[in-house]
Amino acid sequence: MTQQVKKAVILAAGSGTRFLPYSRLVSKEFFPLGDRPMIEYIVEEAFLSGIEEIIFVLNPDKQQLVNYITYFQNDETAVEKIKAKNNKKLLEDFCRLKKILKKIKISYVYQEIPRGDGDAVLKARGLFKKNEPIAVLFCDDIIYSKKEPGLKQLINVFQKKKKPIFGLSRVRREKISSYGIVRGEKIENRIYSIKGVVEKPKLEDAPSDLAIIGKYVLTPMVLDYLQKIDEKPGDEIRIAGALRNMTRDKKKIFGYELDGIWLECGTKEDWLRSNFFITQRMIK
C-alpha cells in the first residue's frame, strides 16, 4: 500500500539576491503577489493538498517567517482589532491563514551554508519517517488553477504511479536556458516518463520545452541519491542532479504537466508579470 503524502518541505533559505536591495530588508517569500505574500499561497496549497505537517527550511538570518507564523498562531487579539475596523475582506484573509495554521503542524530546520535545494531537503530528513514520501515546494513557484492545487495534482498521480514525480510547464524558446529541461516520453494525458534532465541547456541542446517547476513528490530513494551527492565535498546538492542520476541508472521517474498557469516569481521581471496577472483578476 502506498503511503500517503502528509509532509511538505517548503524551501525558504535563499538570500533573494535577484531582488536586492529589497530583499535585504524583507525576505523574498513575503513579497506581495496580489494582496497576499507569496508564502501564503504555498502554505494554502499544501493544506488544500492534504498536507498535515510543513517543515520550513530557513537560513539562520531569516527569522521573519518564524515571527510571522508565530503571530498567526498565537496572537488572539488581532482578530478583535480587525473586527473593530469593520473590514470584512481583511478579516476573511486574516482568518483563512490563521485557521490553516491551527490545523497543520509547523517545524523549522536550518541550512547554514547555501549548498543547493537538495541539501536543504536533506536538512529536514531527520523529521521524515522511514519509507515516507514527502512533498517539496519552492516559495516562488505558484500555480494559478481553478481546479486543483498544483501539489494535489502531483499527489494524485503519485498515488497511482508510486514513483517520484515533479511538476512541468512548457516555456518559451528564449527562456529554455534558464530552467532544468526534461527529456521524456508522454505516456498518458499530461504524464511523462522522464528519461533525462538537462540543467539550463542552450536552445540547440534542449531535449524539449518542458521545464521543471519547483513542486515535487519525492521518495526515500531520491533522498538516498541526494545523500550520494553529499558525499562529494564541495559539490552543490541539487534535486535535479539526483533525478538526472536516477534516470542514468534507469530508475522510474515521472513528470506531470500541471493544469494551471505558472506564476513565476524567481526574478523581478517574472514577479512583476505574475503580479499583473493576479491583479487583473482581483479587480474584475
CATH of the domain at 262: 3.90.550.10
2 inside domain: no
Give the count of domains, the chain. 1
183 inside domain: yes
Residue 113, Cβ neighbours under 10 Å: how many?
Answer: 7
Q: Which pTM does this prediction carry?
A: 0.93
1 inside domain: no
pLDDT digits (tens), the chain, 284 positions? 458 999 999 999 887 788 888 878 888 899 999 989 999 999 999 999 999 999 999 988 878 899 889 888 877 787 788 788 777 888 888 888 888 998 999 999 999 988 899 999 999 999 998 889 999 999 999 999 988 999 999 999 999 999 999 999 999 998 999 999 999 999 999 999 999 999 899 999 999 999 999 999 999 999 999 999 866 666 789 999 999 999 999 999 999 999 999 999 988 999 999 999 999 887 76
33 inside domain: yes
Domain of residue 83, residue span: 7-282
